[in-house]
Amino acid sequence: MAGDQSPADTGMEVSSRFSAPEVVVVSPAGDIDSATSGPLRAAIGEQVAAGARHVVLDLSGVAFLGSAGLAMLIAEREAAIERDGTLRLAGVPRVAGRALSLTGLTELFDTYPDADTAAAGLV
């Protein structure tokens, strides 16, 4: 799925790029909620099937992070651990950072200011 994808009728766009052979940067734009968390998870799964072991989720284009999005992040973190990989969050906007903080999930995720910084050192 390298390039851009617009999950049907969700109002969210997802782009992705490999920054190294086993490292993919996935960048959703829009809301991550019950309507978009499934398609986003599928988009990440496509990248894992294409060879990614480590996922950098660039949240800089995210306007809203709901409970379904938080659950998706937890599930993707567990999936990364199972494949001996990592899930890193980059460019976390205030709204997403607040959701992570209020739910106590900040301790589960490594966060970075941008995708390139997050991807550095993975492989």
Residues 6+ apart with CB under 8 A from 69: 31, 32, 33, 36, 37, 40, 99
Work out the number of other CB atoms within 10 angstroms of the CB of residue 122.
17
Amino acid identity, position 97: G
Give the pLDDT confidence of 99-121 residue by residue, as tens digits: 999 999 999 999 999 999 999 98
Amino acid of residue 61: G
How does pLDDT run across 16-60, given as a tens digit for each residue? 999 999 999 999 999 999 999 999 999 999 999 999 999 999 999
Which of the four pLDDT bands, split at 50, 70 and 90, describes residue 11?
confident
**Nearest in space to 4 (alpha carbons), one of 36, 43, 55:** 43
Write down all domains in the chain, each with its CATH number in brackets. Answer: 3-119 (3.30.750.24)
Judged against a pLDDT cut of 60, whether residue 1 lies above it is answered with no
| pLDDT beyond 90 at 9 | no
Q: What's the CA gap between 7 and 36, in Å, rounded?
A: 8
